Structure 1
Amino acid sequence: MERYTKPAILLHWLIALLIIAAFALGLTMTNIPGLTPTKLKYFSWHKWLGVTVLGLACLRLLWRLTHAAPVYPAEMPRWQQSAAHALHFLLYILIFAIPVSGYLYSLAAGIPVVYLGVLPLPVIIDPNPELKPLLKLVHYWLNMTLLAAVCLHVLAALKHQFIDRDGVLRRILP
């Protein structure tokens, strides 16, 4: 069975791990009451993870546009192939939309993003107290949508591995 390329596999798993870390850190930091040094440190780390995910997502998209994905097994029903394509498309959209929404939320809150504490990212919107709560809500719901989509993605992969036994999961394993 045809597999994804090594760069595609590396980017898939690296982005997945960074997203899990950013999600866990996001939940942790938002549950810390008040404004503490630890909470501020976690916010910085969360932003750095988001910027890294966005950069790697750009690389992944460029790779994907120039390298076709392996074809699905012939016995895989057409509706499942269509569902897989739709879910992958949604995942790509969310992998871009979430860091952008977090970046805009931070700027609307009047807090610039300084990648790794040394590289200030451009300030593309001014602080905006009216926009801040909307962007916070958008960032939250995009993350909840990503959580649901990732769960569906993982469940589908496990179904293919243990029920269908069609080798679909092996295509992306390192």
Structure 2
Amino acid sequence: MATTASLSFSLPQRVLHWLTAGLVFFNLLLPDGMNAWNRSIKQTGAASAEQVASANIHAYAGIAILILVALRLVLRQIQGVPAAPTEEPQMFKLVAKVSEWTLYLLLMAMPVTGAAAYYLGFEGAGDFHADVLKAVLWAVVGLHVLGALAHQFYWRTNVLRRMTIG
């Protein structure tokens, strides 16, 4: 049974968090390979080997994100997570919980919709992936970062420490 008695996340949880974050930022900031592939497919019905290779990197990063998130959820169930800091107001604890689970949902939905578009040819899934989910993901990631900064500099809690050095 999972417990929340720990003061920080386990080393595997922290490693998975930062690997996931790195891949998410890679795919959010550098989607050019997939965009070039998509434009070429729509305009000419074909893509160059370079465009396919570049799009594959984006897709493989998305698949890796999906696997890492699944592993994180399994570890979360087995090891639990630290309790929210007592310094955090109750309303913000609720916001943090909702945004945390929204982030997990988005980190699963993004690769699934992207794969549906890229591998199965579902254009609507690709549009939803690139236009809607991407914008929502940016907003939730922004809230996540702002929340971490509020903990560090306003409430002066150990939230950043427990996800970095433990």
Question: 1:148 — aligned with what?
Answer: 139
Question: 1:43 — aligned with what?
Answer: 55
SS of the residue aligned with 2:7?
A: coil
Residue segments in structure 2 that go unaligned for 5+ positions in a row: 1-5, 41-46
1:139 positional shift: 0.9
Structure 1 residue 137 corresponds to structure 2 residue 133: no
Work out whether residues 25 and 42 of structure 1, in 8 Å CA contact, stay in contact via their aligned partners in 2. no
Work out whether residues 8 and 60 of structure 1, in 8 Å CA contact, stay in contact via their aligned partners in 2. yes
Q: Which amino acid letter does the alignment assign opposite residue 89 of structure 2? A: P
Aligned counterparts of 1:79 and 1:85: Cα–Cα separation in 2: 10
TM-score (norm 1): 0.80
Structure with larger RCO (C-alpha < 8 A, sep 6+): 2
Task: Give structure 1 regions of 4+ aligned residues with deviation exceeding 6 angstroms.
Answer: none
1:11 to 11, 16, 20: 16
Aligned counterparts of 1:28 and 1:44: Cα–Cα separation in 2: 8
Where does 1:79-158 land on structure 2 (aligned, <5 Å)? 79-109=91-121, 132-140=122-130, 141-158=132-149
Q: Which amino acid letter does the alignment assign opposite residue 35 of structure 2? A: T
Q: State the identity %.
A: 32
1:38 positional shift: 3.0
1:73 positional shift: 1.8
Question: 1:115 — aligned with what?
Answer: none
Q: 1:67 to 1:167 in 2, by over 3 A?
A: same
Aligned counterparts of 1:24 and 1:171: Cα–Cα separation in 2: 26
Work out whether residues 50 and 99 of structure 1, in 8 Å CA contact, stay in contact via their aligned partners in 2. yes
1:93 positional shift: 0.4
Q: Which has the higher helix share?
A: 2
Aligned counterparts of 1:48 and 1:89: Cα–Cα separation in 2: 23
1:37 positional shift: 3.6
Aligned counterparts of 1:31 and 1:83: Cα–Cα separation in 2: 37
Aligned counterparts of 1:9 and 1:81: Cα–Cα separation in 2: 20
How many residue pairs match? The answer is 152
1:31 positional shift: 5.4
Residue segments in structure 1 that go unaligned for 5+ positions in a row: 110-131
